[in-house]
Amino acid sequence: MADPAAERAEDAVAGLDSVTVHTEAAAALDAPGVAAVLIASPGPAHEEALLAAFDRGLPVLCEKPMVPDSTGALRVVEAEARLGRRLAQIGFMRRYDTEYRRLKALLDGGSLGRPLMLHCTHRNVSSPAGFTSAMLINSSVSHEIDAARWLLGQELTAVTVLRPASSAGAPEGLIDPQFVLFETERGALVDVEVFVNCGFGYQVRCEAVCEAGSARIGDEHTMVVTSRGSAAEEVAQDYLVRFADAYDREVQAWVDATRRGQVTGPGAWDGYAASVVAEAGVRALETGGRVAVEPAPRPDLYAEVSR
């Protein structure tokens, strides 16, 4: 691991075996056993780290922005192109969001026809200190830039930025909100409301308006697809879909607790209680009447119902 602040790095890897700590990225890349690189440093440090990884043939996951200025970004592109094979994945994480992936799959499937417009909303509760008017574009809207390119499979060809009256909730001098319009190579229009001091919540929404319907994500529920007279949300067909994350969290919670030498979550008493209630339920089904549940006394080891 490399971090210019060695102490911070030591803290981060405490308890992990076989990790060495470095203050120079290059030294870390040369450490034995390094098979891949994750770059999460500030943007201006990315170019050097990326080129160093390319030199060593190491695969890289690099946080966005890949490189803050396009000239430096182009140098990275050219270096990788010279290698002739891809090594870098860039951290545009919306491509991995469930709702965005559904929208992408729907658009690619073609059932709604050609996309004509994307209406996007990008709201933050408040902007961090030092956030500039330009950063609404190159830090916030950069997510929509990538998402629009990816969803539409088209490059963006022109941009216009409108300035509604700024909110009283924005810091003095910050142009916030802004309304950004992108044109694409095949004539689609992308509009983005970016409002980084909206005060009320973090909201990322996207509506794709197509020739035969519209689909919207981000409204505190699953994707809503409007077509032929109905506005519909998908209903899961399977518990593995509905509870996928719960299964992951359950096992992770168990692993974490076990590592700490603890046992948490539902326990044997809960398992027993479920059995004894279910048995009463089956008798109630068979008899048609009301059946009392009569468990054995609860050992002191167990709370009434475990948390």
State which of positions 122-151 bind its own copies (CB under 8 A). 124-125, 133-134, 136-138, 141-142, 145-146, 149-150
Interface residue with its own copies, options 29, 65, 106, 206 (CB under 8 A): 65
| 3-state SS assignment for residue 227 | strand
Query: By C-beta, is 103 or 204 nearer to its own copies?
Result: 204
Burial 171-189, CB ≥16 within 10 A → b, else e: beebebbbebebebeeebe
Residues in the interface with its own copies (CB under 8 A) total: 170
Token pair for residue 212? 């035969």
- Cα 21 → chain centroid: 28
Place of tokens 């691991």: 1
Token pair for residue 217? 């994500």
Query: By C-beta, is 9 or 145 nearer to its own copies?
Result: 145
Query: By C-beta, is 10 or 247 nearer to its own copies?
Result: 247
CB 160 within 8 A of CB 181: yes
Instruction: From 1-9, 14-22, 24-32, 69-77, give the range in contact with its own copies by CB under 8 A.
Output: 69-77
Shortest distance, position 137 Cβ to its own copies, whole Å = 4
- Asked if 105 interacts with its own copies (CB under 8 A), we say no
- Asked if 164 interacts with its own copies (CB under 8 A), we say yes
Residue partners of 120: CB distance under 8 A and separation at least 6 = 144, 147, 148, 190, 191, 192, 193, 205, 206, 207
Query: In a 10 Å sphere around its CB, with 0-12 CB exposed, 13-18 middle and 19+ buried, how is residue 217 labelled?
Result: buried
Instruction: From 1-9, 14-22, 24-32, 170-178, give the range in contact with its own copies by CB under 8 A.
Output: 170-178
Residues 238-277 that bind its own copies (CB under 8 A): 238-239, 241-243, 245-247, 249-251, 253-255, 257-258, 263-277
Residues 1-60 that bind its own copies (CB under 8 A): 35-36, 38, 50, 59
